[in-house]
A and B are shown apart, each in its own frame.
Chain A
Amino acid sequence: MAISNMTHNPGDERLERVPDFGRAPSGSDEEMRLANIWRSEPGWRGWLSTVDHKTIGLRYLVTAFVFLLIGGIEALIIRAQLALPDQTLLAPEQYNQLFTMHGITMIFLYALPILSGFSNYLWPLLLGSRDMAFPRLNALSYWIFLFAGIFMYMSFPLGLAPNAGWFNYVPISGPIYNTGPNIDVFALGMVLLGISTTAGSVNFVVTLFRMRAPGMTINKVPILVWGTLAASVANLVTIPAVSLAFFLLWMDRQLGTQFFDVANGGKPLLWQHLFWIFGHPWVYAIVLPAMGIVSDALPTFCRRPLVGYAAVALATMATMLIGFVVWMHHMFATGLPTVSLSLFGAASMAISIPSAVAVFAWIATIWVGRPVFKTPFLFFAGFVILFVIGGLSGVMVAAISLNWQLNETYFVVAHLHYVLLGINVFPVIGGIYYWFPKFTGRMMNEKLGKWNFWVMFIGFNMGFFPMHIAGLLGMPRRIYTYSSRMGWDSVNLITSIGSFILAIGILIFLINVIISLKRGEKANSNPWDAATLEWSMSSPPPPYNFAVIPAVASRHPLWEDRLEEGIRRSNLAEGYLLMKGHETLGTSPIDAKPLVIFKMPGDSYTPFFVGLFVSLLFLGLLLHWWSFTGLMAVASCITLIIWMWPQKTLKQRTESGTTYPFQGDSK
């Protein structure tokens, strides 16, 4: 295979090497050597410096879940206030801060990070690699996410949390009507979080296109990978818009610029455009990977591959593309000309076509399959219903003149919770049940799991379905109380009761996680008899993931014997050993031909410190400690230089010579 000169100096023979080929079964010398190379130091040193994608993935999952709990408690307080008319449990200002923080927490600090957690943990395992493309960047992306989350909660204990709603329209969030630090915390926090999301997205895209196992051509990657790719591309394109918007707002507030200042010719609608150009693709970014979880895990419980893999993969990408041209459906009521609204209304309806593809693929998979009713399956099957309801109410709000009624009422609140809880939380909980044995080596309790699903499912529908009706009865969003004469008493009471039942469901889940961590049944490497690569290794996986780089011949490497498609078979036991330091294989972007040995960096403290200094830099901006800000900028740069300092051992070696053998190829 003539590949060596594609990436590196063709002339430099010293860097060329034909890697060892062989086996490294568990317990062999080779395997021990690999484990030593990839293991993180024990104790706090390893804890701070690790760049293992599995550790980072779990950290993302745990941190995001903590934010889910915080946001959930906020929601319960809100529902207690709204349970009955004319309540005075909360003052309006407290209410405004709570619903704003609820939105920020759930949308920015829970919904995407939890999916990044899954993807971080799973990508290299699904793709047959030993790590993400940029392990240190990965660690940095986590640390900044954590610090940004803390940053945005900093003013909460002081009673000065963000209070203008998660989409933070100007001028109510501008310097004239909002004088405290409330909005500055949000604005700077979002710019900071944007760094984390951008770094994470770059990492996913590069990993996908360069680090797949040989033979895993682009049409063999799992749907979760397509979903995360779509989300990452959407983030890379749109995060600049929102970071810019928040930075301009912060400058308006603190430095006297006038981008949004009406008195000086600033335009409030500019904010809405910048925000929603980001905001709507973001909505897809926080559901497409979750839909991917279902598309990949549901077939395991139907004992057959997903129906219409190519259609679903294409639908995922189509959703992302159309998702870029629907943002104005958040602005139908702003007085824009109806001609331009019509285009966006039509696009917003068209975007449900790819969703229909996915729905019918799932139903067909269950129909032609042989369902096994385990807890994860219940969550995925329940999700299909919630997806349909959320999608249909989405079509209703896309009809422009109806949107003029529905917009900003509880109907939209119902719609967005069906979309975000139904399409994000249900797959996520189901996904945790599914991959828990891989994460921890133990199964979760089935009996509690079934209780968990039914309580959550009933609580969710009881809590959120009546919100549709509240919206049709004219109840506006974001009101801290209502009068009995408006006729919204019963629907609100039912909603509040439902929300508490949902919370009990989440509580059962937590109890199940805690019990199962300690006393769960031990899991073997593939407890669900699933098809994809992550189930080929021990549970939990060894630090190096794959003892040998596998060769992949189909989308279902672990089912090949039973599917009997074609003659080629994946080879998981024999492959490149790559054990001269942190090494993994680089392959070509589309057809995954082996190209190069990647020398991966090892553990390092630098990501933590860069994250810390950058976050402190934002703290300096918030508090107007200008010299401190400067100091932190210098500190970040110095740490970055240490991080990037060239190391001889990281010089890349191009691989040359052999073709990669599949089982079934004649040698």
Chain B
Amino acid sequence: MVLLARIIITTLSMMAFIPVLIIPARSVEAAEAPLNYFLHSYGPAARPTMYLGWVLAGLSIAICLILTLLLLTALIRKRPEIDQRAIGSEGKGIRWIYIGTGISTLVLFGLVIYSLMVVNKVAKPPQTTMLAFTVTGYGWWWKIEYEHDDPAQRFVTANELHIPVGQPVRIKLKSADVIHAFWVPKLAGKTQMVPGLINQQWIQADRSGIYTGQCVQFCGVGHAHMGLEVVAESAEDFEKWLIAQRKIATSFATSDEKLGYELFMEQCAGCHTIRGTDAQGEHAPDLTHLNSRHRIAAGLLMNTPDHLMQWVINAQKLKPGSRMPSFALSEKEASALASFLSTLD
């Protein structure tokens, strides 16, 4: 009953929103859509596909218009008056099929060739890549491992991947549980992360910026809230990021921070890792450099101290079904934990 009432209310409120449609906010909004791959692409793994999309969309619209026009003309064109009961003979009109199908076949043949050329272009990077990350899909966040021959150079982070501008980067894709899909649409198409397999793809950004990504293979209750970000930056900034991420956590000075640290070890360390401490959990994002990231909870919220504490206290409400529990903390505990978390930069 309650559900029904809510459905009715929502329906009515939806109708109230009709005037919104008239306001031409739509084009502005579309330009801002962070996953709009149709109009925006920022690297060689995505751009040829975008052009292919334009060609196909343009062609489709044109064909659709032509056929609609033909159909409408066929419907309304004038015909000579004849006996109502007359039946037209069977042979007429067959040329339509010959000509129509002939043209369609030629167009399709061209499209097959063109689309295969595009696949050839985007499937592999133009040069061999040195840089590589392994991204592992978890329910519902991304583990990111920097790959290097020297184990000391490797590190683990989560949900935010940095790449240097202008260089192809190899991404190895794994899954820890069910099938996910890695998709940063402005940089490349998607690839499934299949448990038991290691898939690969590559991305390259030609200009610096933050590129939004999203899990795009249905993976359970948290599927809607499994975002990631790729930050493309200059080679120097990228180098700085690498160095900063390799560091382990620093020691904690104030008593408030210590209390928060103890609380963390008691409540959070089972799942989260903070390198340099006893927190070595493997089930949740590595928090060693939590504050270096733009967003928390796999893209759900901007990373501000307020949001962070809201997330700790209200995770189940903000991201229903998440593996992160909602913690009931006293005010004192909350402020202690907040000040400890603020040291993780």
Give A residues with C-beta under 8 Å from B. Answer: 76-77, 80-81, 83-84, 87, 89, 91-93, 96, 164-165, 169, 171-172, 177, 262, 266-269, 302-305, 307-309, 311, 333-335, 338, 341-342, 345-346, 349-350, 352-353, 356-357, 359-361, 363-371, 381, 384-385, 388-389, 392-393, 395-396, 398-405, 407-409, 469, 472-482, 485-491, 493-494, 496-497, 500, 529, 531, 556, 559, 562-563, 565
Contacts and interface: CB of A to CB of B under 8 A. Distances in A.
B190 A407 contact: yes
Given A262-B195, A353-B105, A385-B71, A345 B217 contact: no
B128 interface: no
B88 A305 contact: yes
B108 A361 contact: no
Nearest to B195: A262
B37 A405 contact: yes
B214 interface: yes
Contacts of A360: 96-97, 99-101
A365 B93 contact: yes
A473 B189 contact: no
Contacts of B200: 335
A445 to B, nearest CB: 23
Given A177-B178, A335-B197, A361 B56 contact: no
Contacts of B216: 407-409, 476-477
Contacts of B92: 304, 307, 368
Contacts of A497: 14-15, 18
A156 B87 CA distance: 53
Interface string B7-34: 1001101110110110001100110111
Nearest to A366: B74
A481 B67 CA distance: 37
Interface centre among A369, A405, A477 (most CB of B within 10 A): A405
B36 A487 contact: yes
A329 B284 CA distance: 34
A526 B257 CA distance: 88
Given A177-B178, A472-B38, A563-B90, 20 more contacts: A80-B10, A80-B11, A89-B6, A92-B223, A169-B178, A171-B177, A172-B219, A267-B196, A268-B179, A305-B87, A334-B192, A342-B116, A346-B116, A349-B115, A353-B101, A359-B100, A360-B97, A401-B189, A404-B188, A477-B218
B63 A472 contact: no
Nearest to A482: B224
Nearest to A494: B21
A350 B173 CA distance: 32
Contacts of A308: 93-94, 96-97
B196 A562 contact: no
A488 to B, nearest CB: 7
B185 interface: yes
Contact of B189 (A77, A269, A405, A500): A405
Contact of A92 (B99, B192, B320): B320
A308 to B, nearest CB: 5
Given A305-B88, A388-B67, A395-B108, A368 B52 contact: no
Contacts of A169: 178-179, 217-218
B58 to A, nearest CB: 11
A268 B17 contact: no
A267 B101 CA distance: 41
B10 A83 contact: yes
Contact of A364 (B82, B96, B119, B194): B96
Contacts of B101: 353, 356-357, 360
Shortest beta-carbon contacts, A-B, top 3: A474-B35, A404-B189, A304-B88
A351 to B, nearest CB: 10
Contacts of B173: 335
A262 B196 contact: yes
A307 B97 contact: yes
Contact of A269 (B70, B194, B219): B194
Contacts of B111: 349, 395, 399
Nearest to A563: B87
B244 interface: no
B49 A381 contact: no
Contacts of B223: 92, 476, 478-480
B33 A486 contact: yes
A172 B178 contact: yes
Size range of the chain B interface in the assembly: 35 or more
14 contacts: A177-B177, A269-B197, A352-B108, A353-B101, A363-B100, A370-B82, A395-B60, A395-B108, A407-B190, A408-B216, A474-B34, A489-B29, A493-B21, A500-B14
A402 B86 contact: no
A562 B97 contact: no
A171 B178 contact: yes
B174 to A, nearest CB: 11
Given A171-B179, A262-B195, A333 B189 contact: yes
Contacts of B183: 476
Contacts of A335: 173, 191-192, 194, 197, 199-200
Given A92-B224, A399-B56, A478-B223, A334 B15 contact: no
A401 B36 CA distance: 16
Contact of A172 (B3, B48, B218): B218
Interface string B145-188: 00000000000000000000000000001000111010101001
A46 to B, nearest CB: 39
Contacts of A349: 108, 111-112, 115
A639 B200 CA distance: 56
Nearest to A559: B87
Nearest to B103: A356
Given A171-B179, A304-B87, A396-B57, A363 B32 contact: no
B192 A357 contact: no
Nearest to B173: A335
B34 A485 contact: yes
A89 B221 CA distance: 15
A223 B330 CA distance: 73
Contact of B33 (A303, A371, A474, A531): A474
A396 B321 contact: no
Contact of B118 (A401, A480, A482): A401
Nearest to B79: A370
A479 B64 CA distance: 30
B53 interface: yes
A341 B214 contact: no
A544 to B, nearest CB: 29
Interface in B110-159: 111-112, 115-116, 118-123
A304 B92 CA distance: 10
B305 interface: no
Contact of B87 (A478, A485, A491, A562): A562
B190 to A, nearest CB: 5
Contact of B60 (A311, A338, A392): A392
Interface in B248-289: none
A473 B36 contact: yes
Nearest to B76: A371
B85 interface: yes
B74 A338 contact: no
A267 B195 CA distance: 9
